[in-house]
Chains A and B, each alone.
Chain A
């Protein structure tokens, strides 16, 4: 009566086998490796790069334990960390002849030492969270209001050049709060202007207003375009962050959107948080404006009388500079910036490339302002800094701009980097930070492992002592539960954190509940005089309802944590819920299969080893 059909045994065997396979990669540990990825969007990682890396390693007399190529990077495994450092330097020299302008990011990494046959089955070790491997986690909040303001600013500039192109005379374009105001002399010109604007953009909702003698068009962003701008702002910021983080040389950065206006950045292995924050928190945006060189204006401004529509800045060299408030171009029009040398004088220079709209504006502005100065400003948290203020020598068409003069090679490089690292579509602020030192990460793993180990040992010792063979079966079921849980976590590549390890331990502590229930039920059946075979059968069947009950209430709590949890709680909840599922399978199906194998085939079973079945004396008579 206590026999399972063959297919149940087969299911159990397959489950256990899969469990072993997918748990296995976690035991191989990690090998030091060097990871090469592209630093520039234009450069692809391909098999040629792989050959170059291999050649470089061979030239440096370093034996790599396998060079592999995946979608975004080439990875070379090394035997020791010493060789890893050497290999990085060798590869760096071979691939980036000009350290000032690296083509590839060469980073240190740890790769799982999983054998190839396991990898071919997609068996990978669990993905360790930052609290276990060390690193930095940031949560960045994108300033959506800032994104809209910025967009409106650049729209004002667009409108200005649009109206000029169409030959519509206007009395000024300005942003006021969340709207753009365009002034006209009379109603007729306003109608012309209105038509021109509606023809060119659908983003603005226009309304008319009369302020004294001015006929004004008020443009506000439509809700759809506001949404689109906000979505785009987050996307662009993520792209920009990717570029910036490449500078840090992090092997496996995680940059993800969270919610509608937040971005998570995780940098495993990074310890220098100050530098990471410098790079991430650089909420710099670029603006090109004209310099006010009117005679006497600067002197007046220095004495506290800043002329209307201008602002006083200090150049990098320390000289004061009066800059107009009107923005000619913003950083979104800039597609590239590279350091180099001026084509005529061979001085260090920065080459800028503008997009088509930017080129048109730039052409107009330079034509009208030859021999005047323009300022490129880096606006960081509302404070501007003049990066450079070159003199316009000629009209510049085609969108290729060269800034030269009064700079060294290093300065040219710095300026190019600042310009290129991309402008953010909207300012961002760090709203959460978690930094875990590498030693703490290793300690956390050890502590979590020890807790689970000793807890498991204690439970195992108790179960075997109390329930003898049935206890042993319970322990084996519990061990397979642990294995299945780890296999599942590895298969899903869920992130394992310290709370996750705690959840594994707790899942084991709670899973034994099912086996105790079963064993107690079997004992009870024996106490009531059932035959051993009947007791086993009845015990498992009757315990089932209770086991389901107990797991459902725990699962309710787990799911609530999963839905509302964030960070630490989520890591706990995922493992908790998975643990409940695996424990139901292992405690009931696997342990029953074991018991059936042990006892099920014996026709005359007089006694089963489940510890003492004590009967109250009253019942014995």
Chain B
């Protein structure tokens, strides 16, 4: 079997401008959503209490909400979780209540709702200080990944490649976040881990294309910069799609079978992998071109000398 029967190099760079415009538009949209809607942070970051309860039969959500509100939980959010028999109850940090006791009070209150016997499945309580720390730690982790990858790329390539790769992949991160902002999906620590993992994973894609670019510059003399890039992308595209496809199969399996807990984690990975292919190949490469990469940067004088002898 061979999926990729490509006769000639695909002229990706002809459409370089189109790709960059598409990215710019999605990027700006993502920023817009992030700015206007903001991320829907999980309790881990905001602090607060989350109670997951299961029922034998589907409970009346409205009634549960009413009971909780009447019992003094003013800002309570009640929603179904996964299926109609499970409820997720979210409470912001309570100033006047002894916050560590909130979950018991919620359970007590739930037991008074007629007709349904709730079963406690999960409680998460995060105090304000811990929430803040988790948020700072998360930001630090993101920063360290970006800096670490930049240093690595700077060692590995010259600056044009490093800059393009990191721009392309940060734009991925922003787009994933944009999705989470637009749909108001819950942004948890696990999602953050997924974002960072996918960042490390897809930067590699740019590295592979750039390696080929460098190799092609050295090997094939008569080609212009856009042709070299086209050749590099075309010759790596089958690998790119197959590996990402395989990883995505695993991620899809998590999305389908992993249940609610892994859902957003897998979702972030999915978006990250799809945009990762696009951006590390079709965003990073044009950027390198705009930044003015050329053959002269790769051919060392010594190599020239040897060739002259031959």
Residue ranges of A at the interface with B (Cβ–Cβ < 8 Å) = 139, 141, 271, 273-274, 277, 281, 429-437, 439-440, 443-444, 447-448, 450-452, 454-456, 458-459, 462-463, 465-466, 498-499, 502, 505-506, 508-510, 512-513, 516-517, 520, 524, 545-546, 549-550, 552-561, 563-569, 572-573, 576, 611-614, 616-618
Task: Say which residue of A273, A452, A554 sits within 8 Å of B103 (CB atoms).
Answer: A273
**Residue of B with least CB distance to A557:** B200
Contact with A along B250-267 (1 / 0, CB 8 A): 111110111101100110
Q: Using A435-B120, A556-B200 as known contacts, say yes or no to A513 and B253 having CB atoms under 8 A apart.
A: no
Task: Say which residue of B6, B193, B238 sits within 8 Å of A565 (CB atoms).
Answer: B193
Q: Is B269 part of the contact surface with A, judged by Cβ < 8 Å?
A: yes
Expressed in whole angstroms, the Cα–Cα distance for A139 and B128 within the complex equals: 13
Closest-CB distance, B176 to chain A (whole angstroms): 14
Expressed in whole angstroms, the Cα–Cα distance for A448 and B250 within the complex equals: 12
Residue ranges of B at the interface with A (Cβ–Cβ < 8 Å) = 1-2, 5-8, 44, 52, 54, 100-101, 103-104, 119-127, 129-130, 133-134, 137-138, 140-142, 144-145, 148-149, 152, 156, 188-190, 192-193, 196-197, 199-201, 203-204, 207-208, 211, 235, 238-239, 242-243, 245-254, 256-259, 261-262, 265-266, 269
- Cross-chain contact A447 with B262 (CB below 8 angstroms): yes
**Residue of B with least CB distance to A436:** B122
Interfacial chain A residues near B140, Cβ < 8 Å: 564
- Cross-chain contact A616 with B6 (CB below 8 angstroms): yes
- Cross-chain contact B123 with A517 (CB below 8 angstroms): no
Interfacial chain A residues near B100, Cβ < 8 Å: 277, 281, 429-430, 433
Q: What secondary structure prevails in chain A residues at the interface with B?
A: helix
- Cross-chain contact B254 with A573 (CB below 8 angstroms): no
Interfacial chain A residues near B238, Cβ < 8 Å: 520
Expressed in whole angstroms, the Cα–Cα distance for A499 and B138 within the complex equals: 16
**Residue of B with least CB distance to A567:** B189
- Cross-chain contact A434 with B123 (CB below 8 angstroms): yes
Expressed in whole angstroms, the Cα–Cα distance for A618 and B204 within the complex equals: 31
**Residue of B with least CB distance to A431:** B127
**Residue of B with least CB distance to A523:** B2
Interfacial chain B residues near A561, Cβ < 8 Å: 141, 145, 193, 196-197
**Residue of A with least CB distance to B238:** A520
Interfacial chain B residues near A466, Cβ < 8 Å: 1, 242
Expressed in whole angstroms, the Cα–Cα distance for A348 and B101 within the complex equals: 35
Task: Say which residue of A139, A273, A556, A565 sits within 8 Å of B130 (CB atoms).
Answer: A139
**Residue of A with least CB distance to B247:** A509
- Cross-chain contact B104 with A516 (CB below 8 angstroms): no
Task: Say which residue of B243, B251, B254, B258 sits within 8 Å of A517 (CB atoms).
Answer: B243
Number of A-B contacts (CB under 8 A): 246
Interfacial chain B residues near A432, Cβ < 8 Å: 125-127, 130
- Cross-chain contact B127 with A430 (CB below 8 angstroms): yes
Expressed in whole angstroms, the Cα–Cα distance for A557 and B129 within the complex equals: 26
Expressed in whole angstroms, the Cα–Cα distance for A439 and B120 within the complex equals: 10
Task: Say which residue of A431, A439, A447 sits within 8 Å of B261 (CB atoms).
Answer: A447
Interfacial chain B residues near A463, Cβ < 8 Å: 246
Expressed in whole angstroms, the Cα–Cα distance for A618 and B7 within the complex equals: 7
Expressed in whole angstroms, the Cα–Cα distance for A508 and B246 within the complex equals: 9
**Residue of B with least CB distance to A262:** B130
Closest-CB distance, A421 to chain B (whole angstroms): 19
Expressed in whole angstroms, the Cα–Cα distance for A433 and B266 within the complex equals: 25
Expressed in whole angstroms, the Cα–Cα distance for A47 and B100 within the complex equals: 42
- Cross-chain contact A447 with B193 (CB below 8 angstroms): no
**Residue of B with least CB distance to A508:** B250
- Cross-chain contact A447 with B257 (CB below 8 angstroms): yes
Expressed in whole angstroms, the Cα–Cα distance for A327 and B243 within the complex equals: 71
- Cross-chain contact A455 with B250 (CB below 8 angstroms): yes
Expressed in whole angstroms, the Cα–Cα distance for A434 and B42 within the complex equals: 14
